[in-house]
Amino acid sequence: ALKHIIHIFQHGESDRLLPWKQRFKVNTNKIKTGKIQEGAEVVRDLMRMNKEKALNASEKKMLDNAYEFLISELEVIKGITENQIKSFS
């Protein structure tokens, strides 16, 4: 599972062409699945977008929540630290 998450961060594609409202809905649906892979995609995409330009308040909150979820799941899976997780992105 951890290798797959790292792969998502390093090689996954982000759909930057969606309008933010549609992107927000897609990301909300991914988070609702509760699947770590889906959460990793949301974090990856929003982090990439945040590097290009500041996220709006809704997407910033979504990124924070998805990031916390991802970190908590990865800590349980492998007992790795937040600093180790940050090194993947």
DSSP three-state, residue 3:
helix
pLDDT at 78 over 70: no
* Tens digits of residue pLDDT in 45-77: 999 989 988 999 999 999 999 999 888 887 777
d(CA 33, CA 76): 18
Class of domain 2-9+19-86: mainly alpha
Report yes or no: 74 and 5 within 8 Å, Cβ to Cβ: yes
Measure the CA–CA gap between 6 and 60, rounded to whole angstroms.
22
pLDDT at 4: 82
Ranges of each domain in the chain: 2-9+19-86
Mean pLDDT of the chain: 85
Residues 6+ apart with CB under 8 A from 45: 14, 15, 23, 27
Q: Is residue 31 predicted with pLDDT exceeding 80?
A: yes
